[in-house]
Amino acid sequence: MKKTFLKVENVVKSFPIAGGLFGGEVASVKAVQDVSFELKKGETLGLVGESGCGKSTLGRCLIRLIEPTSGKITFQDEDITHVSGHRLRELRRKMQIIFQDPYASLNPRMTISAIIEEPLIIHNLFDSNGDRRNRVLQIAEMVGLRADQLTRYPHEFSGGQRQRVGIARALAVEPELIVCDEPVSALDVSIQAQVINLLMELQQKLGLTYVFIAHDLKVVEHVSNRVAVMYLGKIVELASSEELYVHPLHPYAKALLSAIPVPDPNSKDQRIILTGDVPSPMNPPSGCHFHPRCPQAVDACKVQVPTLEIKRENHIVSCLQVSPENSR
């Protein structure tokens, strides 16, 4: 039977807010609400949405850096929702994360070589120091770092090179699933494509599976097989890349897409400007969370909670106003 690579079922993550006289829980931030999807081996799922919509929290739940409040996560046919101790450490090897700001995530007092070697030591992957060093050299070469650069420190590198170090460190332990948490957002546009191309090359070579997080739909377009759009902790639209960029159906996804500059100045596509800020996930709006900002909202949207439904082939959307097979 074919293995389930990653299955996410109704995952919820709330952060309690302590306060009051006795420091008890006075409220909670509902960072991720009832998220479900499946990921096949070798696939890339793009995860997009504005700041604070829960992308990083979901990414961290998937690889069990944090424990979901409820729901279920299955990785390679194993329920990993609540694993801990030794088993969790073993899993960590298979599931890695690449962070947005490589500078903040690299120890400034360690050489590049030591940074890449550290996870190999933690996971006790090599008996001999020589073999371990060889692995560091091999992985450095794979991400485009030269051997003579390995004795240097992070501050001596450019942003793009530092991100190569972050990638090397994540890949050193031969993971299978990688959460790329805005890996190019802090980089110059000219460097972004290089890092994205490197990640795609490595995926081909090593058969990696990615969850690729970004604010910007443009960034994930070429990397992703499928894209999920999040709003206030929920996935509101999920489709294959080709489908989503041509037929966005959710008003929020349409607005995000319309913000991408088009090369054709005669294009009739109207830019949709969203008014208002993203509401607080401590106290989300009633009905459809998007209703206070939605250009297509009707009265029912204030009370009725939409659920994800199939609207076109390989295309699910959570909106009361989108009927099946209704394209834009």
What is the Cα–Cα distance from 46 to 181, expressed in whole angstroms?
Answer: 10
Beta strands 70-75 and 78-79 are: antiparallel
Closest separation between CB of residue 191 and Mg ion, Å?
20
Q: In the complex with ligand SF4, which residue's Cβ is closer, 208 or 255?
A: 255
* Binder of ligand SF4 out of 291, 308, 311, 315 (CB under 6 A): 291
Which among 252, 210, 163, 209 has a CA at the least distance from the CA of 47?
210
Contact flag: residue 220 with ligand ATP (CB under 6 A): no
**Binding pattern to ligand SF4, positions 211-250, x when CB under 6 A?**
---------------------------------------x
Contact flag: residue 51 with ligand ATP (CB under 6 A): yes
Residue number closest to Mg ion, CB atom = 56
Closest separation between CB of residue 47 and ligand SF4, Å?
19
Site for ligand SF4 in 292-311 (CB under 6 A): 294, 296-297, 301, 306
- 3-state SS string for 1-69: CCCCCEEEEEEEEEEEEEECCCCEEEEEEEEEEEEEEEECCCCEEEEECCCCCCHHHHHHHHCCCCCCC
Closest separation between CB of residue 31 and ligand ATP, Å?
3
With CB cut-offs between 5 and 8 Å by kind, which of ligand ATP, ligand SF4, Mg ion, none does residue 154 bind?
none
Contact flag: residue 53 with ligand ATP (CB under 6 A): yes
Contact flag: residue 106 with ligand SF4 (CB under 6 A): no
Among the listed ranges 16-24, 162-170, 215-223, 319-327, the one in contact with ligand SF4 (CB under 6 A) is 319-327
With CB cut-offs between 5 and 8 Å by kind, which of Mg ion, ligand ATP, ligand SF4, none does residue 292 bind?
none
Contact flag: residue 52 with ligand ATP (CB under 6 A): yes
Among the listed ranges 18-26, 155-163, 254-262, 291-299, the one in contact with ligand SF4 (CB under 6 A) is 291-299
Contact flag: residue 67 with ligand ATP (CB under 6 A): no
Contact flag: residue 54 with ligand ATP (CB under 6 A): yes
Among the listed ranges 49-57, 237-245, 262-270, 285-293, the one in contact with ligand ATP (CB under 6 A) is 49-57
Which among 83, 93, 98, 84 has a CA at the least distance from the CA of 124?
93
Site for ligand ATP in 227-286 (CB under 6 A): 281
List residues near Mg ion by CB under 5 A: 56
Q: How big is the site for ligand SF4, counted in residues (CB under 6 A)?
A: 13
Residues that bind ligand ATP (CB under 6 A): 15, 29, 31, 49, 51-57, 215, 281
Residues that bind ligand SF4 (CB under 6 A): 250-251, 288, 290-291, 294, 296-297, 301, 306, 319-321
